[in-house]
Chains A and B, each alone.
Chain A
């Protein structure tokens, strides 16, 4: 298995532009997580899905952020409009339900908003 796949790996955009980050989870996994990581705040859970349904989006910072999971093999995280403070590394992770469900992380997308 190729693991969790994220694209793009790097994104540089200007303030006010729309940004879309993409994630393909490991086949068969039924949980998908979106995280944001910065030096100041560490890893923060933004939202997670179970069987394509958003379960907890309390970590989404504001209405500019939205996430979708139209099917079991694809998810997007959209920021519109983007702001410089959104600059961070965004990780997608997936796991299989169960008592010991290990989260497998993708390589991350480094977002820079100028």
Chain B
């Protein structure tokens, strides 16, 4: 069964600190992995996408990594800001249904001043 597991479930950090969110998946065959940010009361917005051949990709203060061998991804946030408070969702596309993606339950990040 295709699954995506994220950890931690929630995280509280102080403004300016760094943090790393984890995503483990069992989706096979793998097509791509995307990290979404969902602000409270809004729909998810894509932060970055990782394909099989990519190990790391940055988008401003966000850096995603992918280890396709161990089927793990991480999202590192540098110098956190209050606006980073949101839910971060890991989504893996692949499997036998080409159009379908498997969503993780998300990590809720709270950045405090």
Q: What residues of chain A have their CB less than 8 Å away from a CB belonging to chain B?
A: 4, 31, 42-45, 48, 50, 55-56, 91, 93, 99-100, 102-103, 105-108
Determine whether B42 belongs to the interface, using a CB cutoff of 8 Å to chain A.
Answer: yes
CB under 8 Å from chain A, chain B span 31-47: 31-32, 34, 41-46
User: What is the bound-complex CA distance between A108 and B51, given in angstroms?
Assistant: 28
**B2–chain A nearest beta-carbon distance, Å:** 12
Q: Is the CB of B42 within 8 A of A108?
A: yes
30 CB < 8 A contacts A-B: A42-B89, A42-B103, A42-B104, A42-B105, A43-B44, A43-B103, A43-B106, A44-B103, A45-B101, A45-B103, A48-B99, A48-B100, A50-B99, A55-B99, A56-B97, A56-B99, A56-B100, A91-B44, A99-B31, A99-B51, A100-B51, A102-B34, A102-B49, A103-B46, A103-B101, A105-B43, A106-B43, A107-B42, A108-B42, A108-B43
User: What is the bound-complex CA distance between A93 and B34, given in angstroms?
Assistant: 15
**B79–chain A nearest beta-carbon distance, Å:** 26
- Looking at chain A's contact residues, the main secondary structure is strand
Nearest B-chain residue to A102, judged by Cβ: B46
**B44–chain A nearest beta-carbon distance, Å:** 5
Nearest B-chain residue to A6, judged by Cβ: B43
Q: Which of A31, A42, A48 touches B106 (beta carbons < 8 Å)?
A: A42
Q: Which of A45, A91, A102 touches B100 (beta carbons < 8 Å)?
A: A45
Q: What residues of chain B have their CB less than 8 Å away from a CB belonging to chain A?
A: 31-32, 34, 41-46, 49, 51, 89, 97, 99-101, 103-106
Q: Is the CB of A100 within 8 A of B99?
A: no
Knowing A105-B44, A107-B42, say if A43 contacts B97 (CB, 8 Å). Answer: no
**A109–chain B nearest beta-carbon distance, Å:** 11
Nearest B-chain residue to A92, judged by Cβ: B43
Nearest B-chain residue to A44, judged by Cβ: B103
